[in-house]
Amino acid sequence: MTERRITTAAAFRATLARDLLIAYKRKNDIINPFMFFLIVATLFPIGISPDPQRLGEIAAGVLWISALLAAMLSMDNLYRADYEDGSLEQLLLSPHPLYFMVLAKNISHWLVSGLPVVLASPLIAYMLNLPTDVYFALFMTLLLGTPVLSLLGSIGVALTVGLGSRGLILAVITLPMSVPVLIAGTMAVQQTLNGAPLTAYLAILGAMLLASITLAPLASAAALRISIN
Amino acid sequence: MWQWFFKLGSPKWFYELSGKWLPWLVAAMSLLLVIGITWALLFVPPDYQQGNTIRIMYIHVPFASISLAFFPLMAVAGTITLVWRMKLADMVAKTAAPLGAWFTALALISGSIWGSDIWGTWWIWDGRLTSMLLQFFLLVGVISLRSALEDTDAAAKACAVLSIVGCINVFVIKYSVDWWNTLHQPSSPIGMAGDSANGPEIWVPLVIMIVAVYLFFAVSLILSTRNEILQRERRSKWVQELLASA
């Protein structure tokens, strides 16, 4: 029996490419989280105050919370379709370490749902009257922080993938876990406004990103194995 | 060498052993609670700044200190569940989650009452208060995940993973939130050391109350674990015999 060996790197690339292709074919997956992000960000000026002064003070928090909610909403797509059509089981049966497969799925999820939010953040920041000198801080913290949100959220999705209705339970599990990222992100912007150097906060967010790249996919993989017996 | 360890995993063995311990634990707990509460409420001198309000400390500090133990406990039990598939570990983890939520809520409520007098506000977004609130939410998450999963085995493993992740997260949350905003005083050193701010008439009843609340925690955990054992093992022979004889 001749069997073609596929390296783990090739399997990683194939999983990533497949997920990106699926997202490209179903453009709603890209557009919906982004629209959700825009709409949530729009609710704050309407709900709190259209006063530019006050909006400028809360703009960083508004953007972070909107990004967090958008990441969480889009999480549902991460494993659900694969779970329903059985390809998730195939992924678990593959001889390659599940860690890399999960990481590939997380990266594709972030590219599809996180990156557009990061790229659009300066525009929303402008609309919310965030002082211009902290645009860079906001952009960088979102760039480092949103992948962490995807990686953490993936654990919650993996734990609940077998459940019928799980929108709320996912939120209850994932949102408290995301608090450190939220704090580091908004603190960085606030402190930059006060003239403190940004590097310390970027280092902390970078550390969170590295720690969650190494650990979170392991937890997600274990959770997936539990959810799919 | 490992035999005792696996014996520990047998629900029946635990049920019998804990049945023997329970009267002693309850007796010690009641004694210490009565002494501690009487001493704290009637004999501790009023604080020179806080007056009689200081007596809330004797409830608040024990509950707050023990509620920090729940996530490590659930993470250890979860690890045992995942590695050794020990049924008892999961029963402990399952009963620990609601207990932890109650203890955390009591710590928050007692602290809030204390704060309403001393800080002049019932709630403030301080590091410790916020991290306790988030720990409460994380515990609620574990409870709701447990109740959402119907299969006991899958629920056990899923909650084990969530508890381990949550345990790491509780520490990260604690640090990040402290760093974010802090008003709550750090804990004062308890002990004989000369630099201790408080005399023995303050801290001895506190130590008694802490031990009493720890015993209360142990008793509650054992009682609800025994309950869980009976429910899950209701089809086994020894439980049927036990119920028949009762």
Do the chains contact at B161 and A176, CB–CB below 8 Å?
A: no
**Domain for residue A85, yes or no?**
yes
Per-residue pLDDT reduced to its tens digit, A3-40: 567 888 888 998 899 989 988 888 887 888 889 999 99
The predicted structure's pLDDT at residue A3: 58
For B100-158, write each residue's pLDDT tens digit: 999 999 999 998 988 888 878 888 888 788 888 999 999 999 999 998 888 888 889 99
Residue of chain A nearest B151, judged by CA positions: A227
pLDDT of residue B192: 42
The 10s digit of each residue's pLDDT in A138-158 is: 999 999 999 999 999 999 999
Predicted confidence at residue A163, as pLDDT, reads 81
Which residue(s) pair with B51 in the sheet? B47
Q: Mean pLDDT check: name the lowest of A74-83, A89-98, B48-57.
A: B48-57
Tell me whether residue B175 is exposed, middle or buried, using C-beta atoms within 10 angstroms of its C-beta: 0 to 12, 13 to 18, 19 or more: middle
Show which of residues 189-218 on chain A sit within 8 Å of chain B, judged by CB atoms: 215
Check residue B23 and give its pLDDT.
Answer: 92
> Is there a domain that residue A2 lies in?
no
Locate A48 and state its tokens: 């709190």
Residues A183, B140: C-beta atoms closer than 8 Å: no
Least confident of A167-171, A188-192, B17-21: A167-171
Contact across the interface for B145 and A226, Cβ inside 8 Å: no
Above 90 in pLDDT, residue A54?
no
Q: Which residues of B touch A215 (CB under 8 A)?
A: 168
* Min Cα–Cα distance to chain A from B158, Å: 6
Q: What is the ipTM of this complex?
A: 0.85
In contact, B182 and A188? CB cutoff 8 Å: no
* Residue A217 confidence class, pLDDT cut points 50, 70, 90: very high
- How many CA atoms does the CB half-sphere of B14 hold within 13 Å? 24
Chain B within 8 Å of A149 (Cβ-Cβ)?
no
Query: A2 to chain B, minimum CA–CA distance in Å?
Result: 37
Tell me what pLDDT residue A1 has: 45
* Average pLDDT, rounded, for chain B: 84
Tell me whether A162 touches chain B (CB under 8 Å): yes
Which structural domain range is residue A191 located in?
A: 8-227
The whole-number pLDDT of residue B193 equals: 42
CA–CA dist A174, B138 (Å, integer): 9
Residue that wins the pLDDT comparison between B28 and B245: B28
- B162 and A CB contact within 8 Å: yes
Contact A201, A184 (CB under 8 A): yes
Query: Are A13 and A105 contacting, i.e. CB atoms less than 8 angstroms apart?
Result: no
Quick check: is A3 in a domain? no
What residue ranges do the domains of chain B occupy?
58-185+192-245
Please report the number of interchain residue pairs, chain A to chain B, with beta-carbon separation below 8 angstroms. Answer: 69
Per-residue model confidence as pLDDT tens digits over B58-88? 888 899 888 888 999 999 999 999 998 888 8
Q: What percent of chain A has pLDDT over 90?
A: 39
DSSP B42: I
Q: Tell me how many domains chain A contains.
A: 1
